[in-house]
């Protein structure tokens, strides 16, 4: 939509500010009792554990006293590996606390921190470490450099500064080792591109969480993001797309505006080396045979269609597949062959997901090729290509990883499966003797929304709150004991179709990635969600110190109100998504730790204003939010406050507008299969009409075999109608008004629908737009009841 400004009406819920968070507190017990957590349960107890570490170590013993850490504290390290870790520790300490101790010579210096790689500790396991802090000195020891690095990261988390800036470490003995060898995070630059510096920021954050695998999704329908010297068009053509709608138009000229980006091979080497220095292995992904539009656009001879393709500005599942020719398999081998020297790790990911076979089924040449190789089905043809790539990779000392669709045909025994469509694929793979990385979309996709707050950025359907992420167990209870060793670990994925800025990426990832990290590292018997939530405020302080952006929404207060229009009153319900205690004021003052503690819904007389914040250990976790209620506001609902119609389909999305090309854009909650909103229990007493503020955005989705599920009500006039039904969408139509050809200059239009008759009492109002949703769809921004 074109607009000169975004004049979206003010929300009922107003909030702003930066979080004020709590540093780790010192105490005497490894864990402290905490009340039940919820997603709407009582708040954590105020007594913090003595070491608020994330992930929680395997074993912690508390001592007496503390160690004072200053710039004069000597760091002792023998050997290159130990000296490297000591230097990394000093650099991060300086960044977080402005205290930078230096390496010193000698072994018996008093009051020192000693880093040691001790071969005698090799039996404790890879990545394990021992950390001992006493008032007279500190020792971090491990059997390998990775373990020593993780010990240093724990030491960094132990550091706490008092009000004067003095840094201390509590006396403690920690013996620790990871539960899983694959503790991963997937970053997607194909949909939205991330700079070298931004990738490094993610790697730094992963290291602080003791994650050790970065899965780099380098190719997809929307962009090819890595230089291949033998095939330069992959980045010249495949590395650029024109975004849909106004976002793809240069405002000053009206010409197409391209969105481009790729990594040179030198930049890849730089990133891989940067990750390796932090004991993170980078696993590249080159997707095939599907998600190949950008590559086929660059080299049409690779495709299975005669239609000219361009890198897509749409999202979803596309029909465009690489063809099955020997020359195309050779192309894939050429690409992988150029990349293998850049990625020294063991694994190479070849995709394999969402490869819709329509083009192969319709192609006489593909069918002939299937007969040539003995493939009875299209899935067996895909398996033939996977087997060829597996042999190529094995010949170069690599192991193949693919999404769980590769299980649908014959699969090389050496292949590793990444289970994303739930855990069932992982169960099947492990029982067949394959290694598995658990990465189910139901629990570990961080582009899904994390709260129901109206402040959430654009995201994918449904909500995956913190507790759901934390509670995910990578080893299914149904898996036989003898096959459990095949579960290598877990991985969180961050797809970026709807993530246009790095700030939004950080919002989606943190702090949920902390929950993933604890599952990957901490022994299962030690995991405790209540304790994790209790330790989380200290982790937020670390994020602030080390420049990691994180979501404010889990630490804010949300509010809902039920009004009695005749009485001029309302009942306001307050809640924090993570169950922290909520305190509020009704006199305009800022809530403090001594303000009224929320314990039950608050009755108010309109007009009224409440300010509320969530607290832990007497400190506000985020800036307070202000909730204003008056007679007018109670007659209005935003799209976030409206429900999804029961028959509106399964794919609720939080979508961003297509314009302006730069800057802030409006955001809408809508279902793309059947756009429909429902105002449940709307009080229609004295209501003459309903005013709907609507926007219009491009329909930029490919649905593949889900296309038949897309529905819309046929238009009865040139541009469709706004229809309103009482009693749900199957009830009586009580209002209808024609829609204009386009929204106004600001990108919105106000449509007023007079009610056909006066209705008394409360009704479930169904609001929907008629007409095909392609090529553009109407979306609801706000609905307002207008009185007679």
The one catalytic residue among 333, 354, 358, 685 = 354
SS3 string of 431-445? HCCCCEEECCHHHHE
Alpha carbons 158 and 178: distance in angstroms, whole number: 18
CA 457 to chain centre: 11
Extract the runs of DSSP E, i.e. beta strands, from 250-322.
259-260, 281-288, 315-316
Closest CA to 645 of 785, 766, 726: 766
* Rg, C-alpha atoms of the chain: 28
Cis omega before residue 697 (within 30°)? no
Alpha carbons 346 and 486: distance in angstroms, whole number: 16
Alpha carbons 136 and 494: distance in angstroms, whole number: 44
The one catalytic residue among 132, 204, 220, 246 = 220
3-state secondary structure of 459: strand
Identify whether 220 is a catalytic site residue.
yes
Alpha carbons 362 and 364: distance in angstroms, whole number: 7
3-state secondary structure of 508: helix
Identify whether 354 is a catalytic site residue.
yes
DSSP assignment, residue 719?
A: T
Burial (CB count <10 Å: 0-12, 13-18, 19+), residue 173: middle
Alpha carbons 22 and 620: distance in angstroms, whole number: 8
Burial (CB count <10 Å: 0-12, 13-18, 19+), residue 423: buried
Residue 252 structure tokens? 């000053």
Identify whether 118 is a catalytic site residue.
no
What number of helices (H) and strands (E) belong to the chain? 16, 44
| Residues paired with residue 62 on neighbouring β-strands, in sequence order | 172
Residue 335 structure tokens? 């690409």
| Contact by Cβ (8 Å): 682, 768 | no
Pairing of strands 625-629, 13-15: antiparallel
The DSSP H or E segment spanning 364 is helix 364-373
The one catalytic residue among 62, 192, 279, 291 = 291
| Contact by Cβ (8 Å): 39, 467 | yes
Q: CB atoms < 10 A from the CB of 465, how many?
A: 19
Instruction: Find where tokens 């990779």 sit.
Output: 393
3-state secondary structure of 69: strand
| Contact by Cβ (8 Å): 513, 185 | yes
The DSSP H or E segment spanning 160 is strand 160-161
Burial (CB count <10 Å: 0-12, 13-18, 19+), residue 20: middle
Residues 6+ apart with CB under 8 A from 587: none
Alpha carbons 665 and 658: distance in angstroms, whole number: 7
Q: Calculate helix-pair angle for 529-545, 512-521, nearest 10 degrees.
A: 120
The catalytic residue positions are: 220, 291, 354
């Amino acid at each position: 939509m074109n607009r000169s400004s975004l004049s979206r009406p003010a929300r009922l819920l107003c909030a702003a500010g930066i979080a004020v968070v709590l540093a780790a507190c010192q105490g005497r017990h490894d864990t402290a009792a905490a009340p039940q957590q919820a997603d709407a349960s009582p708040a954590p107890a105020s007594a913090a554990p003595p070491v608020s570490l994330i992930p929680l170590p395997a074993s912690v013993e508390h001592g007496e006293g503390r160690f004072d850490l200053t710039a004069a504290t000597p760091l002792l390290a023998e050997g290159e590996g130990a000296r490297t870790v000591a230097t990394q520790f000093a650099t991060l300490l300086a960044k977080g606390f402005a205290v930078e101790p230096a390496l010193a010579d000698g072994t018996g210096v008093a009051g020192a921190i000693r880093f040691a790689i001790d071969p005698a500790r090799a039996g404790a396991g890879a990545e394990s470490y021992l950390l001992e802090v006493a008032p007279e000195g500190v020792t971090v020891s491990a059997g390998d450099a990775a373990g020593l690095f993780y010990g240093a990261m724990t030491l960094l988390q132990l550091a706490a500064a008092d009000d004067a800036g003095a840094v201390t470490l509590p006396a403690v003995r920690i013996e620790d080792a990871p539960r899983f060898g694959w503790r991963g995070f997937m970053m997607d630059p194909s949909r939205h591109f991330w700079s070298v510096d931004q990738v490094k920021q993610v790697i730094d954050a992963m290291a602080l969480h003791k994650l050790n695998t970065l899965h780099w999704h380098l190719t997809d329908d929307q962009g090819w993001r890595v230089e291949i010297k033998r095939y330069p068009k992959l980045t010249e053509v495949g590395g650029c797309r024109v975004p849909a709608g106004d976002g793809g138009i240069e405002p000053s000229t009206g010409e197409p505006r391209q969105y481009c980006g790729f990594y040179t091979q030198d930049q890849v080497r730089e990133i891989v080396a940067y990750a390796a220095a932090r004991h993170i292995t980078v696993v590249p992904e080159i997707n095939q045979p599907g998600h190949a539009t950008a590559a086929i656009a660059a080299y049409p001879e690779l495709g299975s269609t005669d239609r000219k393709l361009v890198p897509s500005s749409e999202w979803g599942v596309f029909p465009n597949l690489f063809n099955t020719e020997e020359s195309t398999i050779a192309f894939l081998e050429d690409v992988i062959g150029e990349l293998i020297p850049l990625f020294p790790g063991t694994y190479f990911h070849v995709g394999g997901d969402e490869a819709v076979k329509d083009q192969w089924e319709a192609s006489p040449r593909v069918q002939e090729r299937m007969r040539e190789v003995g493939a009875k089905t299209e899935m067996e043809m895909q398996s033939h290509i996977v087997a060829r790539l597996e042999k190529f990779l094995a010949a170069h000392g690599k192991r193949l990883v693919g999404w769980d669709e590769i299980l649908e045909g014959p699969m090389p025994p050496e292949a590793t499966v990444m289970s994303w469509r739930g855990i069932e694929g992982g169960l099947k793979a492990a029982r067949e003797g394959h290694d598995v990385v658990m990465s189910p979309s139901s629990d570990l996709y961080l582009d899904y929304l994390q709260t129901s707050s109206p402040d959430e950025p654009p995201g994918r359907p449904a909500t995956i709150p913190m507790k759901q992420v934390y509670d995910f167990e990578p080893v299914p209870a149904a898996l036989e004991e003898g096959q459990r060793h095949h579960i290598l670990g877990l991985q969180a994925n961050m797809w970026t179709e709807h993530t246009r800025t790095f700030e939004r990426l950080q919002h989606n990832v943190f702090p949920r990635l902390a929950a993933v990290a604890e599952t990957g590292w901490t022994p299962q018997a030690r995991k405790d969600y209540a304790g994790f939530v209790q330790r989380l405020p200290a982790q937020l302080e670390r994020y602030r110190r080390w420049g990691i952006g994180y979501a404010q929404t889990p630490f804010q207060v949300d509010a809902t109100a039920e009004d009695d229009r005749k009485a001029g009153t309302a009942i306001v319900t307050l809640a924090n998504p993570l169950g922290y205690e909520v305190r509020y004021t009704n006199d305009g003052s800022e809530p403090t730790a001594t303000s009224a503690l929320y314990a039950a819904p608050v009755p108010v007389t309109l007009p009224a204003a409440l300010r509320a914040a969530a607290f832990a250990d007497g400190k506000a976790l985020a800036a307070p939010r202000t909730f204003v209620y008056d007679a007018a506001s109670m007659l209005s609902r935003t799209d976030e406050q409206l429900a999804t119609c029961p028959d509106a389909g399964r794919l609720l999305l939080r979508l961003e507008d297509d314009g302006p090309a730069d800057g802030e854009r409006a955001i809408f909650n809508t279902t793309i299969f059947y756009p429909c909103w429902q105002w449940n229990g709307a009080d229609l007493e004295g209501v003459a009409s309903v005013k709907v503020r609507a926007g219009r955005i491009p329909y930029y989705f490919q649905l593949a075999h889900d296309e038949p599920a897309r529905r819309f009500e046929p238009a009865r006039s040139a541009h469709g109608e706004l229809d309103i039904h009482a009693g749900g969408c199957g009830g009586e139509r009580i209002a209808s008004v024609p829609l204009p050809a386009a929204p106004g200059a600001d990108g919105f239009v106000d449509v007023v629908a007079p009610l056909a008759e006066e209705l008394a009492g409360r009704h479930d109002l169904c609001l929907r737009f008629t007409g095909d949703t392609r090529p553009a769809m109407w979306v609801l921004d706000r609905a307002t009841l207008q009185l007679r």
